[in-house]
Copies of this chain bind each other. A is one copy, B any other.
Amino acid sequence: MRKDEIPKETVNRLPIYLRCLNRILLRGHSTISSDELANLVSMSPAKIRKDLSYFGKFGTRGVGYEVKPLIERIRGILNLDKNWKLALVGVGNVGSALLSHPGFHRGCFKIELVFDDDPELIGKEISGKKVHDSSEISNLVEKGLVQIGIIAVPNEKARDVAERLVRGGVTGIINFAPVSIDLHDDVKIYQIDISTELSRLTYHMVP
C-alpha cells in the first residue's frame, strides 16, 4: 500500500502508540496485549489492530504485541530511524522553549541552525546555538542540507519565513504562528496552535 493511501488519522495515531509503547518498555514489560495497549491509549483494540494492519502483520493471538520490535517498526514507518536536521526561525518565548526541549538533545531531530531578525540577538548564542540573521535563511539552510523548518515568529512574518525556508530546500515545516500558510503541495506544513486544541477540548466539555 502506498503511503498516501493510508488514512491520515491512522498516521496521526502512530506517534501516540509509540509514546505509549516507550513508556511500557521503560516499565520493563516486553509484551503487551492489544486490550492493555487499547486501554492505555483510550481506544478500541479493533481500531489499533486495524491501524497497524496497514503496515504488515503485528502481534500474536493470545500473546499480544512484542513491545521492542513494534517500537522499532513504528519508528521505521515514521522515518524516526533517520537523522533529521532542523532550522528554527524565531527565538522569542516559543523558540527558546524549543531550544531547551529535551527531545532535541537526543534522538533523531537536531536543531542545526537558528535564526532571528532582531539585531540584539543576531550573533549571540542561545542554549549553545549561534543565532543567524534571518536574511541568511535560504542560503544557510541550503548549505546545511536542512530538511525541516520550525517557524516561531509573529504572524505577519510567518509567510515570508516559510518561503525562505522552502527556497533553501526545506520540505517539511512546523508552524507555531497562529496563521495558516498555503505553500505548494510538495511541502508539508503542520501547525501547532493552542486555539485549535482548546476548541477540540471544549467540544467535549459541559459549559
**Which residues of A come within 8 Å of B, CB atoms?**
3, 8-9, 11-12, 14-16, 18-20, 23, 40, 77-80, 82, 84, 92-94, 96-98, 100-103, 107, 109, 147-148, 150, 171-174, 178, 180, 182, 188, 190, 192, 194-207
B77 touches A203 (CB 8 A): yes
12 CB-based A-B contacts, threshold 8 Å: A11-B203, A15-B199, A77-B203, A84-B207, A92-B97, A93-B94, A101-B194, A103-B194, A109-B195, A147-B207, A148-B198, A148-B202
Asked if A20 and B82 sit within 8 Å, CB to CB, the answer is no
User: Within 8 Å CB of A23, what residues of B?
Assistant: 180
Q: Residues of B contacting A192 with CB < 8 Å?
A: 192, 194, 197
- When distances are taken between beta carbons in the complex, the residues of chain B under 8 Å from A3 are 203-204
Inter-chain contact A20/B190, CB cutoff 8 Å = no
Q: Which residues of B contact A77 (CB under 8 A)?
A: 203
